[in-house]
Amino acid sequence: MPSEPLPPATARAQLEALAADHDFAGPWAAERARMMPAAGRPAAVLVLFGVLDDLPAAGAPAPQAAGAPAPQAAGAHSEVSRDLDVLLLARATTLRSHPGEVAFPGGRVDSHDADVTAAALREAHEETGLDPAGVDVLGELAAIPVPASGHLVTPVLAWWRRPSAVRVVDVGESSAVFRAPVADLLSPAFRFTSVTRHRGRTWRGPAFVVPDPRTGEERVVWGFTAGVLDAIFDRLGWTLPWDASRTLDVPA
């Protein structure tokens, strides 16, 4: 008989332990030394987990890649409570850099920011309108170099103790703000391997295809955001077996 899903309080305790785990290197640990010289500008993102709002996890199968074996049902059991979600946004399609890409709230560290945590909270407030007073910061994860943008990005892990309303604050920056159920992200039916081709080179990484809880629009989570989520889920033992041969082409 499967064990009961973790209550949100237990999930928070696991995330707190992860924030204090100095052995957790995050994604692309083996490539850090090679990537580091191309990433010098500090930036931060807010990885904000909390108790799901009034919209439940989807529980419906995602589109199946042509010729791929049938995935496990979207309702497959996970050790994670279906009451858990993570805050994401979709970048505006008019941006020159990564238009339309799903991301964590965040951005560059400004000179007036006290530290990367302050930058992550400020950016999240500016992008989504959330009230930082309701956010409990659990800790900073290892900084990740992103050569494509030249940034050294610190994921700031946090828990939404007192959720507040969120929205698109600046349509020039974001096209959507939404809370993605973690159970949907973990469902094998919603997991793919992203394939990016650019100038004769090919990159592969984790990807998630999840419906926006409010609009039903399917959104692809890949790149930096998917890598961080995938590493967190693996480290916490939340990941369910999924078919990595199911691929999804994404733009460079």
Q: Are residues 102 and 225 in contact, defined by beta-carbon separation less than 8 angstroms?
A: yes
Top-confidence residue, 181 or 77: 181
How do residues 80-129 score in pLDDT, each as one tens digit? 777 899 999 998 877 776 677 899 999 999 999 999 999 999 999 999 99
Distance CA 30, CA 152 (A): 16
Place of tokens 């929205």: 167
Of 181, 225, 235, the closest CA to residue 90 belongs to 225
Distance CA 111, CA 116 (A): 11
Helix intervals (H) in 198-248: 223-236
What does DSSP assign to residue 114?
Answer: S
Average of pLDDT values for 35-58? 80
- Which residue pairs, CB below 8 angstroms and at least 24 apart, start in 145-148? 145/32, 145/35, 145/36, 145/38, 145/39, 146/35, 146/39, 146/43, 146/224, 147/35, 147/38, 147/39
Q: Are residues 25 and 145 in contact, defined by beta-carbon separation less than 8 angstroms?
A: no
Q: Is 223 left (phi over 0), alpha (psi -120 to 50) or beta?
A: left
Instruction: Decide: pTM greater than 0.75.
Output: yes
